[in-house]
Structure 1
Amino acid sequence: MQAETLPLRRNRDFLLLWIGAGVSLLGLRTSVVAYPLLMLWYGDSPIGAGMVGFAVLLPQLLVQLPAGALVDRWDRRRLLIGCDIAGMLVMGAVVMMLASGRLWLPALMGAAFVDGAAGLTYRLAERAAISHVVPSSQLPRALGQNEARGQAAGLLGQPAGSGFFTLGHWVPFGFTAVSHLIALVTLLFIRKDLQGERTAPTRNVRSEVAEGVQWVWRQRFMRAAVGLISGSNLLFQVLVLTLALIVKEHGGSALTVGLIGLVAGLGGVVGALAGAWAVDRVRLFTVLAGSLGAWTALMVPVAFTSDPWLLGLLLAGMSFAGALMNVVAGVRQVRVTPNALQGRVTSVFALLGSGLGSAGALVGGLLLSAFGTCATALAVAAAMGLLALTAVVAPALRDDAVEARGPGCQAI
């Protein structure tokens, strides 16, 4: 009982899980930033940058559902450890390739896919485990701190990825390998069990995945909400690649891209902290529709400026809205999902919400090669505006009285 009254800053197992996952996420963000820089500055290929971005995000489409089933089936601690080992090995292979002076696109895409799959599975397992290391009363604050940690990793990952890249093409990937090692060590010291007792009989993975999909399908509000989020994530992948090319075309360096990400990350951290306050005060529909509208308004100026500070401020506003929405939606999802389904339900939500991200990176490379940065940025803003309009008029979203009915309602 005493453990339930401890503040999060004194909860040893939460801190170990939080720090380890944060370091691992920072490493992943660093390598994700470095992939397009490697192809744009070293390989001189926007299409190659899009293809590598496609590979690192493809696990969100292909691995999401089976990974969720494994999180609910396997020992979560061992699964987290396995993810760190896989990431460490594959990043070590990338370091050896680049240090030898070679750049082979298929190998880089394969490594990006494996590390992306390991990182995705790690996040699913951590999300499912969080309720076993903190009491339910502290769940909003814990998930808010997790989101803030993710935003901070993005904030630091941008300058880290670009800064390490200036030191050597292989350095960002070496840092990622080390981050997996540090995360592995923290996991070994966690004492608490990261899942409850499992009494349900083990079935084949397809049946277990189907159970998670069926549970989500019954959530009417959620189906419509994650459909819109999925479209927005596709558009953001195009926008990020557009931003990098804008900087390059106007004489900026890879470090400039990192500084823009640093400014943007500050907005995300503030949004994550605000999300913990907003969980029980603001309706999810309001947060969703407001975020889509804000993203639309902030994307339009991107087409008409190359000023790094202005681009950073625009992205900071987008990151604020996105982080706030992630916290509000994430707390709702964890609260209403049965423990035995946490991994599978989270994976279904993630698949619906971000599965198109890999396509966005590929589409972004093709659009930029064909139409340039200005037209691509305007097209992204127009598409986001359509999503915002859909959110306002969609019956499933406007009829959100289900949110007021508490746990078990049809909401995230």
Structure 2
Amino acid sequence: MTKTDVAEPGEALEPLSKNRDFTLLWLGAGVSVLGSRVSSTAFPLLILWQGGSIASAGLVAFAAQLPNLVVQLPAGALVDRWDRRRVMLACDLGAGLAMAGVVAALLLGHLWIPLLMLAAFVEGSAMIFYRLAERAAVRNVVRPEHLSTALSRNEARGQASGLLGSPLGSGLFTLLPWLPFLVSLAGRALACFSLLAIRTEFQQARKPTGERNLRAEIGAGMVWLWNQRFLRAAISLVAGSNLVFQATNLAVVLIIKQNDGSPMELGVVSVVGGLGGVLGAMSGGWWLARLPASRIVLGAVVVWTALVPMILLSPNPVVLGALSAGIAAVGATTNLAAGVYLTKVCPDEMQGRAISVASLLSSGTNSLGAVAAGFALAHAGLTTTIGVATGFMALLALIAAVSPAVRSGREPLK
């Protein structure tokens, strides 16, 4: 059973809130993403507050982001082949086992950086498969009239998970260093029950095919996205921006620590920043209906250029949080614009591949940015690192302003 049929003229269209299966999918994925945010927040705290170095924190962040480079593309093709519900269940189980390993090691009194890197890599890989399967499943669980609203709620859910996950991870870490990872494990278990309760199929019926060629399938996804002129340009700009944000994220942690701050103060930054992301996602539909996509993308990089250097102004958690809120709000609207556009124009059988290619191009730089930021902050210092990051973001804004491909996205996204 799917819900992709368009409502007949005169037929009453139930509100999205009455869609039981979407609600279960939304809640279950939310719990799973929340678990991931809790553990990802705890990883750098565990290293820095248990005797590790900022360089070690960068290595673990590198391992967490590495799947964006090496797993993303094959994951998209495999999600298009396999049953999406089973993929999501397997991801929750795999990530849960990784968290169980971290809990066991910490209870035994060991802080092994290689183990933390492995756990971060497994969890990052699982979340890639999970995110691709869920994104592709949404259009089969809701009616076309509700697609934009459903994706907007998913974006708001992701931002809210960051809002709750970061302070929750920091607070749990303050109580017991292994507690955030145990809570992350519990969240994955709850998500599995939610998935099992959904009745709707997560994909349309597939036509029988002969021998499958993974490389050719990945190539088809690349070709499709390459032919989308505006998406190609927008994703490239977001990729460069994400490289900068890896430096700012680690810089905020370092600023708090150098000023004798605590994990809870870092949680305040995350809460205020997360509120900005939620508000950006909730208001995204309003902006998308009134502004062409080209202005949304150009406005995003211009605003980011102005906000990045301001993190050096004050170590106050509220000030840092307000800056994070501005960055996150703009990012949420930009993500929503790209997500709605891609989901509407891409065929169902290619959703996984198209999203995976877009994700690789937009966030694949995160892994390199994380390790580069860690070593830059350790050896070049905070001010120099942020100065270089600001200059790079300004260059992206200039490119966006003169790019014909960016200007081609003139139509409002409704």
Alignment TM-score > 0.5, same fold: yes
Does residue 1:83 correspond to 2:91, yes or no? yes
SS in 2 for 1:6: coil
Please tell me whether the aligned partners of residues 4 and 135 of structure 1 are also in contact (alpha carbons under 8 angstroms).
no
Of residues 308, 324, 327, the one that matches 2:317 is 308
Does residue 1:24 correspond to 2:57, yes or no? no
Q: 2:394 — aligned with what?
A: 385
User: Structure 1 residue 279: deviation in Å?
Assistant: 2.6
CA distance in 1 between partners of 2:283 and 2:258 (Å): 36
SS in 2 for 1:279: helix
SS in 1 for 2:33: helix
Change (3 A) 1:234 1:181: same
Please tell me whether the aligned partners of residues 13 and 190 of structure 1 are also in contact (alpha carbons under 8 angstroms).
yes
Alignment deviations for residues 167-208 of structure 1 (CA, whole Å, 9 cap, x no partner): 111111111111100100100000000000101515121111
Q: How does 1:18-97 map to 2 (within 5 A)?
A: 18-97=26-105
- TM-score calculated relative to the size of structure 2: 0.95
Does residue 1:223 correspond to 2:232, yes or no? yes
Moved more, 196-205 or 293-302: 196-205
CA distance in 2 between partners of 1:103 and 1:24 (Å): 25
Change (3 A) 1:4 1:63: farther
CA distance in 2 between partners of 1:361 and 1:151 (Å): 21
Q: 2:14 — aligned with what?
A: 6
CA distance in 2 between partners of 1:333 and 1:44 (Å): 41
CA distance in 2 between partners of 1:212 and 1:349 (Å): 9
- Matching residue's letter, 1:142: A
User: Structure 1 residue 399: deviation in Å?
Assistant: 3.7
Does residue 1:267 correspond to 2:276, yes or no? yes
CA distance in 2 between partners of 1:329 and 1:222 (Å): 7
Of residues 301, 308, 316, the one that matches 1:299 is 308
After the TM superposition, list the runs of 4 or more consecutive aligned residues in structure 1 that deviate by more than 4 angstroms. 1-4
Q: How does 1:36-185 map to 2 (within 5 A)?
A: 36-185=44-193
Using the aligned pairs only, state the percent identity.
Answer: 48
CA distance in 1 between partners of 2:28 and 2:51 (Å): 33
CA distance in 1 between partners of 2:381 and 2:151 (Å): 39
CA distance in 1 between partners of 2:191 and 2:355 (Å): 22
Does residue 1:247 correspond to 2:256, yes or no? yes
Moved more, 371-380 or 111-120: 371-380
Please tell me whether the aligned partners of residues 62 and 367 of structure 2 are also in contact (alpha carbons under 8 angstroms).
yes
- TM-score calculated relative to the size of structure 1: 0.96
Unaligned runs of 5+ in 1: 408-412
CA distance in 2 between partners of 1:217 and 1:180 (Å): 35
Please tell me whether the aligned partners of residues 16 and 186 of structure 1 are also in contact (alpha carbons under 8 angstroms).
yes
- Matching residue's letter, 1:241: L
Q: 1:280 — aligned with what?
A: 289
- Matching residue's letter, 1:358: S
User: Structure 1 residue 378: deviation in Å?
Assistant: 2.1
- Matching residue's letter, 2:260: G
CA distance in 1 between partners of 2:384 and 2:314 (Å): 13
Alignment deviations for residues 193-252 of structure 1 (CA, whole Å, 9 cap, x no partner): 000010151512111111111111111222221111101111111110010000000010
Please tell me whether the aligned partners of residues 281 and 336 of structure 2 are also in contact (alpha carbons under 8 angstroms).
yes
Alignment deviations for residues 295-349 of structure 1 (CA, whole Å, 9 cap, x no partner): 1111121123211111110110111100011111110110111111000000000
SS in 2 for 1:102: coil
CA distance in 1 between partners of 2:134 and 2:27 (Å): 12
Compute the RMSD of aligned alpha carbons: 1.6
Q: How does 1:334-345 map to 2 (within 5 A)?
A: 334-345=343-354
CA distance in 1 between partners of 2:15 and 2:297 (Å): 30
Alignment deviations for residues 13-41 of structure 1 (CA, whole Å, 9 cap, x no partner): 00000000000000101111111111111
Please tell me whether the aligned partners of residues 280 and 333 of structure 2 are also in contact (alpha carbons under 8 angstroms).
yes
Unaligned runs of 5+ in 2: 1-6
Q: 2:328 — aligned with what?
A: 319
How many residues are aligned here? Answer: 405
Does residue 1:367 correspond to 2:346, yes or no? no
SS in 2 for 1:182: helix
Alignment deviations for residues 99-135 of structure 1 (CA, whole Å, 9 cap, x no partner): 1110111111011000110011100000000001110
CA distance in 2 between partners of 1:41 and 1:4 (Å): 57
Alignment deviations for residues 62-98 of structure 1 (CA, whole Å, 9 cap, x no partner): 1111110111100011111111110111111110011
CA distance in 2 between partners of 1:54 and 1:282 (Å): 36
CA distance in 1 between partners of 2:318 and 2:146 (Å): 37
